Amino acid sequence: TLSLHDALPIFLMQYIVHYRTDFSQMRFEAVERTFEVQFGHATLCGKVDGRFRDKTGGVWHIEHKNFSKINEETILMKLAFDLQNQFYMLADMIEFNRLLKSTLYNILRRPDVRKTLSPSETFTYVTGLIKANPKHYFFRYEIPYSREDIEQFKRELGQKLTNLGQIGRAHV
């Protein structure tokens, strides 16, 4: 059986070909960037997939999401309310004292790899699938958040952390 592990190098190669303009249009500042910032009495920690500047100097996050099945009708709604991304944007705003331009979601649909193939047949099969319909396997969504969106998230997170602190004190 062809495993996803066997197909990944081929998938990655096709991804690089599909998004080759990234190398001239994006200036990556960080990949797998960890952060740790103070937020009231709490420390926000995490790891962002990437941070880059566009050609105009705007600062973005890039988040990679991969799925085997994607419901294209609901994915935008799901991404727009992604708690993880709002958390990352707030942390970035605290650390750098400026709002990111946007988040670019890099959506990767894994190819079906349930066939028994030799390595050369695997290469031909996966490459053929992707070349026949690259937009089926690779697509992106830009999800902008306004300062007001992040400020609202900041208030809600602060309230939740306060509530957790009160619960913790009540049960000590």
pLDDT (tens digit per residue) in 115-144: 677 778 878 888 898 999 998 889 898 888
φ/ψ of residue 145, rounded to 5: -125, 135
pLDDT (tens digit per residue) in 48-107: 999 999 999 999 999 988 877 777 777 777 777 778 889 999 999 999 999 999 999 998
User: CA angle, 146 as apex, 23 and 51 as ends, to 5°?
Assistant: 25
- Antiparallel, parallel or unpaired: β 27-39 and 138-143: unpaired
What pLDDT sits at residue 57? 93
> Do the beta carbons of residue 89 and residue 113 sit within 8 Å?
no
pLDDT (tens digit per residue) in 16-45: 999 999 988 899 999 999 999 999 889 999
